[in-house]
Structure 1
């Protein structure tokens, strides 16, 4: 039997029919498995995965964010990371704090002056009739209370200026807000002046040496008196 009649013998390299399967030890045929992908083929070709326009391409996942895009862009100035904006007037400085003399002048007009007038009038009337003098003192005392509620707590709390402060050119404001403190806190501040009085009235003199020119009542409710003229 000749060699050509052996069915198990492969033809020499380069002979025989071209096959889509690679020969043992030989080079893979074009179009077989393991060959370089043909241009325009399915996997690995341009337009497939990893190609331009696919995953990982420009504009796909993992790409650099486009300018003005949502993710990765610089936060707007009005966002959470922006510098906070504060409203209201700033807290006063040492230069415009009111002097002790002006503060005392405003308090005399608001409180001490009316109290002195009530006592003098009541004493004169009481000299003629003690009963009438006592009744007059009560009536004028109630009138002074009503005047104080309107003048120092309502008007003074809302605007920072009572009649006495307006006359001397001062204004009561909160240390932290720079704004009038409102009727309720104006009332609390006047009640807190009891602390200034119980220590032999020394609390009233604190503005003479205090760095913020505050009485003890001012420190309790966090207020200062400024000069507005």
Structure 2
């Protein structure tokens, strides 16, 4: 056999016919005399945890207004603890609407009844006597029915105001009558007493009905007696 190839570093190179390391076999030692370094092994991918953010402060829920509980009003608010006071104009409009609702049907019935029950005076020039003719008992009953309808509607409106604070006219003008102390409707019985107390408003030339024009709380005399206020409805 021939001589192996010349290696300038003194190492013998594998020649022709020598077995080379195959797949899966350990490679020969480092020909340069150093320690053999194993090939780097792949590492499994590990996801880095998400960065931690500081906890956000919890915002308190907005307080909801409670019915019947005084609420703090902004500076310059022209009203009481339960809302802005209703003006004289809106109160007059509410009374006018309620009066029309109750008065028109009753007035029609009373007018027809009065026409039916009217009597006519006839003078006889021969005898010089005066006789009465016409008139109907049904007309009188019809007139009484008209007054009864007006009274029943008035009681129904007082019941509505006592339980909800509003009549149809007050609901249309967006106002309600409540107790100044509790903010609640005052009930049917006290509402009826308040209705009778309006006599005080009419005695001194109806001055009590005009008093809300000058009063800081826009109260009538009946309101002051019953400790009630009319406020804007929310």
Q: TM-score range by the shorter chain?
A: 0.5 to 0.7
Give 1:111's match in structure 2, choosing from 84, 87, 99. 99
Q: Structure 1: how far apart are the matches of 2:204 and 2:69?
A: 34
Give 1:88's match in structure 2, choosing from 41, 59, 68. 68
- Normalised to the residue count of structure 1, the TM-score between the two structures is 0.55
- Normalised to the residue count of structure 2, the TM-score between the two structures is 0.54
Runs of 5+ in structure 2 lacking a partner?
1-65, 119-136
Other structure's SS at 2:163 match: helix
Q: Greater strand percent: which structure?
A: 2
Give 1:169's match in structure 2, choosing from 174, 195, 207. 174
Give me the CA root mean square deviation. Answer: 2.5
1:223 equivalenced with 2:207 (yes/no): no
User: By how many angstroms is 1:111 displaced?
Assistant: 3.0
Q: Is this contact kept in 1: 2:109–2:146, CA < 8 A?
A: no
Deviation per CA, 1:27-58: give whole Å up to 9, x if none. Answer: xxxxxxxxxxxxxxxxxxxxxxxxxxxxxxxx
Deviation per CA, 1:84-116: give whole Å up to 9, x if none. Answer: xx9833289634111111101111222355335
Give 2:149's match in structure 1, choosing from 129, 134, 143. 143
User: Kindly tell me: are residues 158 and 184 of structure 1, through their superposed partners in 2, closer, same or farther at Cα, counting changes over 3 Å?
Assistant: same
Q: Structure 2: how far apart are the matches of 1:87 and 1:156?
A: 17
Other structure's SS at 1:226 match: strand
Give 1:213's match in structure 2, choosing from 215, 218, 222. 218
Other structure's SS at 1:212 match: coil
Number of positions where the alignment pairs a residue of Structure 1 with one of Structure 2: 143
User: Kindly tell me: are residues 126 and 160 of structure 1, through their superposed partners in 2, closer, same or farther at Cα, counting changes over 3 Å?
Assistant: same
Instruction: Report the counterpart of residue 158 of structure 1 in structure 2.
Output: 163
Q: Structure 2: how far apart are the matches of 1:205 and 1:112?
A: 21
Alignment of 1:12-23 (within 5 A): none
User: Kindly tell me: are residues 147 and 117 of structure 1, through their superposed partners in 2, closer, same or farther at Cα, counting changes over 3 Å?
Assistant: closer
1:200 equivalenced with 2:180 (yes/no): no
Instruction: Report the counterpart of residue 7 of structure 1 in structure 2.
Output: none
Q: Is this contact kept in 2: 1:89–1:179, CA < 8 A?
A: no
Q: Compare CA radii of gyration and give the structure with the larger one.
A: 2
Q: Is this contact kept in 1: 2:102–2:153, CA < 8 A?
A: no
